[in-house]
Structure 1
Amino acid sequence: MTATQDSVSSLQTSVPPALSLGVVALSVADLGRSLDYYRQVIGLEVLEQDTHRVVLGAGGEPLLDLHGQPGAATSVAAHTGLYHLAILLPGRADLGRFAAHLIREQLPVQGASDHHVSEAIYLEDPDGHGIEVYADRSPESWAWQGGQVKMDTRAADIGSIVASAGQDTAWRGVPAGTVMGHVHLKVADLAASRAFYEELLGLDVVADFSAHGALFVSQGGYHHHFGLNVWQSRGGQPAQVGEARLLSASVFLPEAELAALRARLLEAGHPLPATGDTFTVTDPSGNLLRFGRKV
């Protein structure tokens, strides 16, 4: 067993490795404008659509649920809510094709970073919602020490990323096998958020940058399923009804673990429905998480 594998196996995870993230729901000011953006720029496909709502995804799997709220203002940076949602592509070649598409079409981006565990391109939708499109490096290459994974932020080598696509740089949209890799949240209080995500939900703090206003939590040795930061939102209030905002983020667990989590939440005083495989809970910063049974 390598040192990296040994460090991963030593993590004390109480949420099972089968945890996965699902649909992120957002409100948007102009549903047609957002639909154009997520289809043409990001490359998601429409799975469901009506007058007030569109569900988009890849390979038939839903990733994003947009709710039209005509006239909604851009979310205030100081409010808690979504920092970015993170779309995880199957491989580096897919990220290369996406990067080539952005370059060909001269589409605006917020940045591109090498995080050691992954490479990422950052964008912002017309309502100011942050988006990360990324590809993981092989987990065997991740460096762990004392239960903490090495993550940093350096400039991405875009030339190398594009070259990884080889001769086929055509972007045909987000490919099947793409998932919601993580969700990064703006929170009001890092200590309260840590208690909720670590002690109540049972996630592991795998990158503690609390001295710099951020924590990263996960299960099963992943580099992070949730990012939590107070960079803009320390002491802030939740995004308001009149703003384009995060409505919910979905988390799926196997039946037994879902029942155990539900019992912990009830014991902690969170109001939950008496029965059912789906329930919601709000974190200390007002971010709504929707838990369901993994099938």
Structure 2
Amino acid sequence: MTADAPDTPLPDETRLGRVALRVEDLDEMTAFYRRVVGLDVLERSDAAATLGAGDDPVLRLVRDAAAAPRDRSQAGLFHSAFRVPSRTALGAALERVRERWTLSGASDHDVSEALYLSDPEDNGVEIYRDRPREAWPRSADGTAEMGTYPLDLESLAEASDGAADAPTGTDLGHVHLEATSLPDARSFYVDALGFGVQVEDRGALFLAAGDYHHHVGVNTWNRRTSPAGGRGLSWFEIVVPDTETLVAVRDRLADAGVESREIDRGIEVRDPDDVAVRLRAE
């Protein structure tokens, strides 16, 4: 089932930037995202690591040994989704997962092909590649239609070039969250922030700027009842095309009663489940 667009939509050029995780074992987590996901270590200290593809950072890991594990009742991260630029790169990711980790799922979503796994601290991870946009099925109103079907893993493995690294062009395609309330999530992400609803179905919202299939997913499948906290998701970043857009979004959030604070290169706000969302301009 599809739904209507926001009154003031985010520009089509809006994208995601980075996702940050609070972690207990920085060494183990860095090794996982390096060896299995294939990201490069761009910066590293005793307290944190930044990983990405080429020179582009997509993941920040911050050591917080004092943080409690995320409680089963808490909202937060369902998965971080790292998008690779080709089926060849996704095939290589499948090889790395099979050799070095455990694959927990794989799906053909019509618009994309996706691999699913969990990192050493049980944060969900998706690695996926998009099909060409002109091949995406569309509803009558132009929104993307997404299915869930078995993925042909052997065909995907045959496409691999055996690369140990995720190629340049790999980015954070979307973030999928677990929420306590879909109406509250819609109020924040659609009405205040300006994402459009691509799909609303079976306890989930798939939200996007422009005609992308989704930049943010939100679901209530596991019936979370308390705000986000503990280890796991610290914040994720939305990148808008220019400073004028950032100012307009900040003002729109303020009009909706959403407080923001200034951070380096942008602002930070909190969604209804206390998830930190950072916004910056290109």
Do both proteins adopt the same fold according to a TM-score greater than 0.5, normalized to the shorter chain? yes
One-letter amino acid matched to 1:63: V
One-letter amino acid matched to 1:224: H
Are the counterparts in 2 of residues 11 and 147 from structure 1 also a CA contact under 8 Å? no
Instruction: Tell me the equivalent position of 1:69.
Output: 64
- The offset of 1:219, in angstroms, is 1.1
Instruction: Tell me the equivalent position of 1:288.
Output: 276
- The offset of 1:64, in angstroms, is 0.7
Cα distance in 1, alignment partners of residues 60 and 189 from structure 2: 24
- The offset of 1:74, in angstroms, is 3.8
What SS class does the counterpart of residue 156 from structure 2 fall into? helix
Structure 1 position 172 matched with structure 2 position 161: no
1:230-241 pair list within 5 angstroms: 230-234=220-224, 236-240=225-229
1:162 to 157, 162, 169: 157
Instruction: Tell me the equivalent position of 1:189.
Output: 181
2:243 to 251, 255, 260: 255
Instruction: Tell me the equivalent position of 1:18.
Output: 13
Instruction: Tell me the equivalent position of 2:231.
Output: 244
Cα distance in 1, alignment partners of residues 32 and 144 from structure 2: 34
In 2 relative to 1, CA 57–199 (structure 1 residues): closer, same or farther, beyond 3 Å?
Answer: same
In 2 relative to 1, CA 257–173 (structure 1 residues): closer, same or farther, beyond 3 Å?
Answer: same
Are the counterparts in 1 of residues 35 and 164 from structure 2 also a CA contact under 8 Å? no
Cα distance in 2, alignment partners of residues 58 and 120 from structure 1: 19
Instruction: Tell me the equivalent position of 1:271.
Output: 259
Query: Which of structure 1's runs of 4+ aligned residues deviate more than 3 A?
Result: 10-13, 71-74, 273-277
Structure 1 position 116 matched with structure 2 position 103: no
Q: Which moved more, 1:138-147 or 1:176-185?
A: 138-147
- The offset of 1:249, in angstroms, is 0.2
One-letter amino acid matched to 1:196: F
Instruction: Tell me the equivalent position of 1:4.
Output: none
Instruction: Tell me the equivalent position of 1:35.
Output: 30
Unaligned ranges ≥5, structure 2: none
One-letter amino acid matched to 2:30: L
- Deviations 1:166-204, CA, capped at 9 Å, x for gaps: xxx312211111110000001110011111111111111
What SS class does the counterpart of residue 279 from structure 1 fall into? strand
Cα distance in 2, alignment partners of residues 204 and 213 from structure 1: 17
In 2 relative to 1, CA 107–192 (structure 1 residues): closer, same or farther, beyond 3 Å?
Answer: same
- The offset of 1:222, in angstroms, is 0.1
Structure 1 position 139 matched with structure 2 position 167: no
One-letter amino acid matched to 2:183: A
- Equivalent residues, number: 276
- Using the size of structure 2 for normalisation, the TM-score is 0.92
One-letter amino acid matched to 2:107: S
Cα distance in 2, alignment partners of residues 68 and 75 from structure 1: 15
Q: Which moved more, 1:253-262 or 1:74-83?
A: 74-83
What SS class does the counterpart of residue 149 from structure 1 fall into? coil
- The offset of 1:164, in angstroms, is 2.4
Structure 1 position 205 matched with structure 2 position 197: yes
Cα distance in 1, alignment partners of residues 281 and 36 from structure 2: 32
- Deviations 1:203-232, CA, capped at 9 Å, x for gaps: 1100111xx110100011000000000011
Cα distance in 2, alignment partners of residues 98 and 225 from structure 1: 21
- The offset of 1:117, in angstroms, is 0.5
- Cα root mean square deviation, aligned: 1.9
In 2 relative to 1, CA 177–266 (structure 1 residues): closer, same or farther, beyond 3 Å?
Answer: same
- The offset of 1:273, in angstroms, is 4.1
What SS class does the counterpart of residue 274 from structure 2 fall into? coil
In 2 relative to 1, CA 277–161 (structure 1 residues): closer, same or farther, beyond 3 Å?
Answer: same
- The offset of 1:275, in angstroms, is 9.5
What SS class does the counterpart of residue 148 from structure 1 fall into? coil
Q: Which moved more, 1:45-54 or 1:93-102?
A: 93-102
Structure 1 position 60 matched with structure 2 position 60: no
- The offset of 1:155, in angstroms, is 1.2
In 2 relative to 1, CA 58–274 (structure 1 residues): closer, same or farther, beyond 3 Å?
Answer: closer
